[in-house]
Amino acid sequence: MNYIILLQQQTPSSGFGGYGSFLFLGLMIVVFWLFFIRPQAKRAKTQKTFIENLQRGDKVVTIAGIHGTINKINEDGTISLEINPGSYIKIERSAISLDWTNQLNKTGTTAAK
């Protein structure tokens, strides 16, 4: 006995035809961009601007948690940070934490009032 198997062609169940999965994929890319990539790029831009605007005498906190005052900004991208009167360390500019420095300056301003 020979059996004949008939295969039925399945039609897409979505109202968008075969483009439903592409629409979903596009929507996922947009959501990913809005919630992950865009805020991270904005944060990186803010950090870069903060690092470029550092000046002598600014009170800062490093990413390692070291508090100090900027004594000198060197040409090679480093900073001479005074951690105690007469004690200096040389660190990279990128080692300054924007969040912790803002928190230090906010609490320092409030405590001074």
Q: Which of 54, 49, 59, 50 is nearest to 111 (CA)?
A: 59
pLDDT in tens, 41-54: 999 999 999 999 99
Q: Give the CATH class of 55-106.
A: mainly beta
pTM: 0.64
Say how far apart CA 44 and CA 58 lie, in whole Å.
Answer: 21
Tokens of 84: 């105690």
- In degrees, rounded to 5, the angle at the alpha carbon of residue 58 between the alpha carbons of residues 93 and 44 is 45
Other Cβ atoms within 10 Å of 46 Cβ, number: 11
- Do the beta carbons of residue 61 and residue 95 sit within 8 Å? no
pLDDT in tens, 50-103: 999 999 999 999 999 999 999 999 999 899 999 999 999 999 999 999 989 989
Delimit the domains of the chain by residue range. 55-106
